Structure 1
Amino acid sequence: MPTTLFRRAAQADVAAIVALLGEDPISAARQAGIQVGPEAYVQAYQAIDADPNQLLAVAEEEGEIVGTLQLTFIPGLSRGGAWRGQIEAVHVSSARRGSGVGAAFLRWAIETCRARGCKLVQLTTDKRRVDAHRFYERLGFEGSHLGYKIKLD
């Protein structure tokens, strides 16, 4: 079993992260019809990396990127002024699903939020990802809210 390293993504990881997003059918469908060059992803990475309340992370095994997620640290007035961690864009390589990498990555993300002083960790997941729902529940997440989105052009 290879050793997995969880770390902040580097700009050199962007192509591998985009490839991970593309191997997922739901994520790929969201990208359908969007024509952008690699510079758009590099600019997005640079904006994320420059923001102290953002952490784009990767899971790496033997030099290969096998997972990614993004953490956002959100200050708020509710819960006594508590910070919360928002986990988004969780993807693990299809070849590594079921190996424990995803669970270890989420535990790492939760501990990273705890180290930043967060009192709550939350995430959203597509309603169609039934297996992911079970996965998150096994890790202790509760389906406590209903989320809404609106697409802006």
Structure 2
Amino acid sequence: MDKLLLQQQVCQRLEADLAMLLAAADLARQAATHEESKAENKYDTRGLEASYLAAGQSRRAEDIRRALAAWRALQMRAYDDASGIQLGALICLADAAERQQWLLLGPDGAGLKLEHLGLEIMLITAQAPLGQQLLGRGPDDEVQAGAAAWRIVTVE
């Protein structure tokens, strides 16, 4: 599989999320400062709520900017037996029933799902419990995810 293509897909998804969030934050900011948002009495909190929303969206936009910068800076390397699984690794796990799960270990963006060659690939980070277990491991090693044991089938 082409990990550089996967990296580009992650960046494109993050860029799209960022653009959407910035537009939403701008609308919330406009709503917070619009004259119709001025409180008519002490119970009227429309303007205050819109300003809280805008602030939250701006913080989330910063998180996405950091994730995007981390993904752009990530050097996608081929798997090396000597160092084991590292950031940028594409990992196939199998459970006892031989159901497979594909993971891309990245610097940020956990939970994002990609579709590539008919496979669903989920992003995880090294900070996640499963990500911590995977670091340094290799094919045929086992990891625990919840109550289930998973075998590392392949690493790219």
> TM > 0.5 between the two?
no
Q: Which has the higher helix share?
A: 2
Higher gyration radius (CA): 2
TM-score normalized by structure 1? 0.29
TM-score normalized by structure 2? 0.28
